[in-house]
Structure 1
Amino acid sequence: MSLLGSMTTAISGLAAQARALGHVSDNVANSQTVGFKRTDTNFTNWLTRSNLRVNLPGSVEARPDYTNTVQGTIEQVENPLAMAIAGQGFFSVAQSRGGSGADVIFDDRQMFTRAGDFAMDRDGYMVNGSGYYLEGWTMLATGQPDRTTLAPIRISELVYNPVPTSSIDLAANLPSNVDAVAAIPAAAPWAPTEDPVSSVIQIYDALGNQQQVTLDWWRLDTDTWRLRITPENDTTNPADGRFVDVRFGGQIAAGPPVVTAAPGTISSITMRANTTGTTPAPTETGDNAFLGFTVDYGYGNQEVQINLGGFGVPTGLTMYAGTEYSVRDLSQDGVPLGAYNGVTVRENGDVAVNYDNGQTRIVARVPVVAFNDPDKLQKLDGQAYLRTVESGEARVTDASTNGVGKLVTNSVERSNVDIAAEFSKLILAQRAYTSNTRIVTASDEMLQDTINMKR
């Protein structure tokens, strides 16, 4: 019994070491595979009989010991869509079952991977080197991600439609050390004869064409300036022009209580011709100071609002010391037609499509998925995994929150295989295998001697 048991135990040792050698072979072969997690070997002893008087030889079993939680080296690459997870967590991915474009059919199973070498395929999907499609949250109209549903991310917004200008922001200082005009026109066209101080801004119409608007200023008296707004190519072209008077310092609201603007800050806006003003009237400092006008470039009325800052506060338009009209900011919210210019992934997981008109559109957000025991996930081809009962439920969350790692963009996670360690395991497996063969040989010779006893 002992001799046969010794031989059986040695044979189980051969099988266990052969399996350990297979783990080493798999690790070495995938030492350069993106997102690969090595498999170590856990040897388990199985007893036949063991007590204080006797211990019979049992057997050994080699079980895989997965290292899904062990971080691989993060390496920067040139691919703008490549991502790595620094810390715990996985990407959620899907597998295609056929079709193309918007009609791609995906496997119902949710899969996970650490292989973040994603690139855009011909249909606009983000696919990694193993053919798995990256899943994410789509963006709602509010600009927030829809965290209730995961779906494969597809880039289909290749054009950024033009946006007509609706708002102009003006921050400037009208000089207080210049002379007022000699005569103030009391009726249309309201423009004094003296040369104004001017600024020009380009706005956009409904088709994305660039149009020019000129803002001319005249000082009427100590505290009041007159503004003329002249949009070029405007089909309405009112005969009286577009005029408004802006007063600095003094009473904002009659109250009670009476509200007064500090010197050099806006206290009132008076519409003269073809302009609209602050509604309702200001009642306290800080209320929005704005005026508006209507233009028509041949595509219907276009309402434009000029924001001058706030009443009684030194933001936006002011009148302080100086002899030159200084513009600090003159910007507008219109956008010309834009064409697709590339896509990038931000550190918070936002997938941003860039256009050649300088605009960016967020189309999705990449979440990170965590498990209570990631080492119990079921391995699939291509460095992918499936959830199991032992791994626990998948927790889908934003990067860098709830214990998951952060996203490292323009990078990939390399295999966590250490070649030196694997060759050390190889030597040990080889020596252990050889030693077990010696046990089999010795047991065989001893059994042969037992058989020869009757001769």
Structure 2
Amino acid sequence: MMRSMYAGVSGLQNHQTKMDVIGNNIANVNTNGFKKSRVLFQDTLYQTMRGGSSPTDARGGTNPMGVGLGMQVASIDQIHTPAPAQSTGKTTDMAVDGNGYFIVEDGNERYYTRAGGFDFDRNGNLVTTADGFKVQGWNADENWNIDTVAPPEDIDIQDLRSVEPRATTEMTFTGNLDSTLRAINEGEDENFVFQPDQEGSVIFNNENSVVTSKEMYNSLGDEEIVYFRFYKFDGGDDGITWGCQVSLDPDFGDIDDVDELNPSNESDTITELPFDQDTGKLPVGTSATLKIQDDNEIDFGNDDDVREIEIDFSDLTQYNSSSTAWAEHQDGYTSGDLTSFDVGADGSVLGVYDNGEIRNLARVALANFQNPTGLQQEGNNLYQVTNNSGDANIGAPADQGMGSIMPGSLEMSNVDLSEEFTDMIVTQRGFQANSRLITTSDEMLQELTNLKR
């Protein structure tokens, strides 16, 4: 008689535990990054009344008999299924699309979280808005490179709020030079578009040359404009080649003789572009080193110059099409201050400077686990490693099986209210049934005590 009462007591206690878990899930239905829990029950010890026996020639076997002593909680499991993301419009808010947890630190304590409500503090540290814990990742070095193999550290952009000027050291050309352009030669007839003027110096126009320009910068960030003039030259037995004349003067100065334009003469301001006459392309790696002297004189070979700019012409083509040659890239810039930043799907924090430069400032790190349900819940949407979770596998977003980052979003709770309300009803009925069990057992005891009357 008393066994049924105590079984009912265990049922009441453990159904109350399940209701507590359901209540916690429902309370956190709007908690960003929250992962719900579930309760599993199991029966408890049995009082054996008769053991099982084996069959014999004369009699068959018998099954064991036992009376259960109630039930108990088998486990309270965390359900780490992903949840939908909610757009917030705040750049530093982040949600993980897939596997992975953000890594945050409070002093020497390391935690993991799916709640990506972050912001930069006044010192340039990326921190959690709730607790000020520092978000872990990798910072860019002085060359704007990010090493994701190194151990993660506090994301800190304080030293990157401004950039120093950078002198131009590289320039790249692309586009086409019209193959139908007439070559410049000495002694052309008077109907040709190229003619010497009355004093014998050379005249260029839009029909026998292609002129373009590109800005470049010195070490102080001062902008200079360099001009390029492309023209075709008949090299005799060497075939037709192109010359590129470079100058800081948009008028390129005076050219007194066609021979001065011949690239084979190795002029200080002219370099040769030997296009293949069959493919219309330049040899791979065709380039020239431009020299800038202290007095802003420019040439292609003075060893006393203080600045060098490597110009890559190898992407230029010579087809029967309009001339579109232009310098698409140079690596110099003036000084700039950080005006805004953005976050990429790979976790990169991109800084935008008022000099037009965009740089990778840092990259957020993620951690993955063999058994995420083995993480220890610490409150505040934080988890810590346990013996059964396995060590954290740290990597960059979108790498090594890590999820990608959804910037401007926060992960919602994975609590399903319909499921929780259904479990609540079932739990309530279970609690009610166990309470009736205790009441009925009490009534049976009451009948026993009334037997003496």
2:163 paired residue among 152, 160, 165:
160
Question: 1:91, CA displacement in angstroms?
Answer: 1.7
Once residues 177 and 420 of structure 1 are traced to their aligned partners in structure 2, the CA distance between those partners, rounded to angstroms, is 76
1:348 pairs with 2:323:
no
Once residues 179 and 149 of structure 1 are traced to their aligned partners in structure 2, the CA distance between those partners, rounded to angstroms, is 60
Question: 1:343, CA displacement in angstroms?
Answer: 2.3
How many residue pairs are counted as aligned between the two chains? Answer: 399
1:151 paired residue among 146, 153, 159:
153
Once residues 244 and 436 of structure 1 are traced to their aligned partners in structure 2, the CA distance between those partners, rounded to angstroms, is 109
1:89 paired residue among 90, 100, 103:
100
1:65 paired residue among 70, 76, 84:
76
2:414 paired residue among 413, 416, 436:
416
Residues 142 and 410 of structure 1, relative CA distance in 2, 3 Å threshold: closer
**Gapped runs of 5+ residues in structure 2?**
51-63, 189-199, 274-281, 297-304
Q: Are the equivalent residues in 1 in contact too, given 2:229–2:244 (CA < 8 A)?
A: yes
Query: Which residue number in structure 2 is paired with residue 187 of structure 1?
Result: none
Kindly provide the amino acid, as one letter, of the partner of residue 113 in structure 1. Answer: T
Query: Which residue number in structure 2 is paired with residue 229 of structure 1?
Result: 246
Per-residue displacement from partner, 1:352-409 (whole Å, max 9, x unpaired)? 2222323222233323312221111110111111111111222113334444433333
Once residues 383 and 272 of structure 2 are traced to their aligned partners in structure 1, the CA distance between those partners, rounded to angstroms, is 62
Compare the two structures and name the one with the higher strand fraction: 1
Query: Which residue number in structure 2 is paired with residue 214 of structure 1?
Result: 227
Question: 1:239, CA displacement in angstroms?
Answer: 11
Q: Are the equivalent residues in 1 in contact too, given 2:144–2:361 (CA < 8 A)?
A: no
Q: Are the equivalent residues in 1 in contact too, given 2:119–2:127 (CA < 8 A)?
A: yes
TM-score (norm 1): 0.76
Question: 1:176, CA displacement in angstroms?
Answer: 4.3
Q: Are the equivalent residues in 2 in contact too, given 1:13–1:60 (CA < 8 A)?
A: yes
Once residues 48 and 403 of structure 1 are traced to their aligned partners in structure 2, the CA distance between those partners, rounded to angstroms, is 46
RMSD: 3.5
- What percent identity do the matched residue pairs reach? 24
Once residues 361 and 157 of structure 2 are traced to their aligned partners in structure 1, the CA distance between those partners, rounded to angstroms, is 8
Query: Which residue number in structure 2 is paired with residue 254 of structure 1?
Result: none
Kindly provide the amino acid, as one letter, of the partner of residue 273 in structure 1. Answer: D
Q: Are the equivalent residues in 2 in contact too, given 1:145–1:364 (CA < 8 A)?
A: no
Deviates more, 1:160-169 or 1:27-36: 160-169
Residues 181 and 424 of structure 1, relative CA distance in 2, 3 Å threshold: same
SS at match of 1:273: coil
Once residues 130 and 291 of structure 2 are traced to their aligned partners in structure 1, the CA distance between those partners, rounded to angstroms, is 57
Query: Which residue number in structure 2 is paired with residue 79 of structure 1?
Result: 90
Once residues 232 and 194 of structure 1 are traced to their aligned partners in structure 2, the CA distance between those partners, rounded to angstroms, is 16
Question: 1:155, CA displacement in angstroms?
Answer: 2.0
Query: Which residue number in structure 1 is paired with residue 377 of structure 2?
Result: 379
Q: How does 1:376-415 map to 2 (within 5 A)?
A: 376-415=374-413
Query: Which residue number in structure 2 is paired with residue 101 of structure 1?
Result: none
Query: Which residue number in structure 2 is paired with residue 177 of structure 1?
Result: 181
Kindly provide the amino acid, as one letter, of the partner of residue 316 in structure 1. Answer: L
Residues 183 and 161 of structure 1, relative CA distance in 2, 3 Å threshold: farther
Q: Are the equivalent residues in 2 in contact too, given 1:160–1:339 (CA < 8 A)?
A: yes
Kindly provide the amino acid, as one letter, of the partner of residue 40 in structure 2. Answer: N
Query: Which residue number in structure 2 is paired with residue 261 of structure 1?
Result: none
Question: 1:146, CA displacement in angstroms?
Answer: 4.3
Kindly provide the amino acid, as one letter, of the partner of residue 59 in structure 1. Answer: G
**Gapped runs of 5+ residues in structure 1?**
96-105, 185-190, 248-267, 279-283, 310-314
Query: Which residue number in structure 1 is paired with residue 191 of structure 2?
Result: none
Kindly provide the amino acid, as one letter, of the partner of residue 137 in structure 1. Answer: W
SS at match of 2:373: helix
